[in-house]
Structure 1
């Protein structure tokens, strides 16, 4: 049985062949982190691409300073704001 700390999907399973010819499974942290738009699923610009860059940056460096920054892309935000203002 696997260690309880490894019974999670937050770690990636990497299969490696050892010099003796046996196959082993290693559990590694997921290294890539990419933010996507919540509406159209395009990668967001202005958001760092790695998990470590996000962890060690300040609050204002992690995402753009605007409405829904880091959640919705600028094109979708413009469309949302148009719909909101026209429905008033």
Structure 2
């Protein structure tokens, strides 16, 4: 933790008015954004595959984009989509 604090405050005057912003930008510079992007893309691809298997492709994509691997569990816990169950029964005729 001391190493991270040293790297975050490197070259920052802590008495300066913009010290918080500079420390925050130093911390964001240490995040491996490319790896996070590719992991998220893999989570969405697997979520789309699980959603397609369960008949809920868009739902699988959305849940895995928002929650990652936990979204897979959400899609798997929901019942399969039925093709004919989405349409309501016809209304009775008027007299």
The bucket for the TM-score relative to the shorter chain is under 0.3
Higher helix share: 2
Larger RCO: 1 or 2 (CA < 8 Å, sep 6+):
1
TM-score under structure 2 length normalisation: 0.26
TM-score under structure 1 length normalisation: 0.28
Q: Which has the larger radius of gyration?
A: 2
